[in-house]
């Protein structure tokens, strides 16, 4: 494992959380880092940092990140996701909207209005060392990792996603056992 890269990414997660808190913007980690924050440790190398943010906060978040030295990176439609790079690390912010019942949905792009997993944003903070952060629920994380190749035809099932699902399922089972 590249411990220097992981430490740099962890530092950027803490910095991003601080920027968002100062702006009054809600963020949730998603992807591999959400899993690691749920488990409380870095389990593998990560290519980037994936987040969810509300679409109405995208402009304020963008301004705050730019002031902190993040550079914009071209990516999906800007109403669907905004991407940045700092210190060689990319951070992607998938944007959320809410449907008429308040459920989180895709904010823009070709899947605008499609629902995200139920209860995705209802999980307590995760933590690695001194860095705490809101994360999506582990069950939503599992569903996203399992369904992405179906939701996005042509996207292959990735080995790391299968390994992440196995880790999350084992951790959820262990937590259920310790509660009993």
In the chain, where the domains are located: 3-137
User: What is the longest distance spanned by two Cα atoms in the chain?
Assistant: 48
Top CATH class, 3-137:
alpha beta
Residue 2 has pLDDT above 80, yes or no: yes
List the one residue out of 35, 125, 50 whose CA is nearest residue 89.
Answer: 50
pLDDT in tens, 140-158: 999 999 988 777 778 888 8
Handedness of CA 167, 147, 150, 104 (dihedral sign): negative
pLDDT per residue as tens digits for the range 38-83: 999 999 999 999 999 999 999 999 999 999 999 999 988 889 999 9
Q: Indicate the Cα dihedral angle 146, 137, 117, 167, nearest 10°.
A: 10
């Amino acid at each position: 494992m590249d411990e220097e890269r992981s430490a740099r990414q962890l530092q950027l997660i803490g910095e991003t959380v601080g920027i968002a808190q100062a702006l009054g913007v809600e963020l949730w980690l998603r992807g591999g880092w959400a899993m690691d924050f749920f488990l409380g440790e870095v389990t593998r190398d990560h290519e980037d940092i994936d987040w969810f943010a509300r679409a109405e906060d995208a402009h304020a978040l963008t301004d705050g990140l730019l002031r902190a030295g993040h550079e914009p990176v071209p990516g999906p439609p800007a109403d669907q996701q905004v991407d940045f790079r700092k210190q060689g690390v990319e951070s992607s912010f998938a944007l959320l909207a809410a449907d008429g019942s308040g459920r989180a949905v895709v904010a823009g792009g070709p899947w605008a209005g499609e629902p995200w997993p139920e209860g995705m944003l209802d999980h307590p903070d995760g933590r690695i060392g001194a860095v705490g952060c809101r994360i999506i629920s582990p069950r939503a994380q599992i569903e996203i990792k399992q369904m992405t190749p179906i939701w996005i035809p042509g996207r292959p099932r990735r080995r790391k996603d299968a390994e992440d699902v196995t880790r999350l399922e084992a951790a959820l089972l262990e937590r259920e056992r310790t509660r009993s």
